[in-house]
Amino acid sequence: MRNRCPEKLPLLLLLFFVALAGGTAGQTPATTAPDPVPGQTHATKSDHGQGRGSPSQSAVDAVRVFYARIIRYQPVGIPYGRAKKALWPLLSKRLAQELDSLQACGGDYYRRYGEILRKNQYKPSIPWMEDGLFSGPNEAATPMRFSILSSKAVGENRTDVHLGFTYKQTYCCGYPASYDHYEGVVTVILENNRWVVDDFVALDVTPQMRLSDGYAECKGGEWVGRPEESH
Q: Is residue 153 part of a domain?
A: yes
CA atoms within 13 A on the CB side of 151: 30
For 153-164, write each residue's pLDDT tens digit: 998 899 999 999
Q: How many domains does the chain have?
A: 1
Q: pTM for this one? A: 0.74
Question: What per-residue confidence (pLDDT) applies to 197?
Answer: 98
* CB of 215 closer than 8 Å to CB of 127: yes
Q: Is 85 helix (H, G, I), strand (E, B) or coil?
A: helix
Q: Is residue 62 part of a domain?
A: yes
State yes or no: pLDDT of 68 exceeds 90.
Answer: yes
For 15-26, write each residue's pLDDT tens digit: 333 343 444 333
Question: What per-residue confidence (pLDDT) applies to 104?
Answer: 97
Q: What is the mean pLDDT of residues 140-152?
A: 96
Q: Is residue 169 part of a domain?
A: yes
Q: What is the mean pLDDT of residues 96-114?
A: 96
Q: Is residue 131 part of a domain?
A: yes
Question: What per-residue confidence (pLDDT) applies to 33?
Answer: 34
Distance CA 11, CA 9 (A): 6
Question: What per-residue confidence (pLDDT) applies to 191?
Answer: 96
User: Cα–Cα distances in Å, from 194 out to 48, 52, 63, 158, 178?
Assistant: 20, 15, 12, 11, 38
Instruction: Find the length of the chain.
Output: 231
Q: Which domain holds residue 90?
A: 50-224
Q: What is the mean pLDDT of residues 128-134?
A: 94
Identify which of 156, 131, 153 has the alpha carbon closest to the alpha carbon of residue 142. Answer: 131
Q: Is residue 34 part of a domain?
A: no
| Higher-scoring residue by pLDDT: 30, 207 | 207
Distance CA 175, CA 170 (A): 8
Q: Is residue 2 part of a domain?
A: no
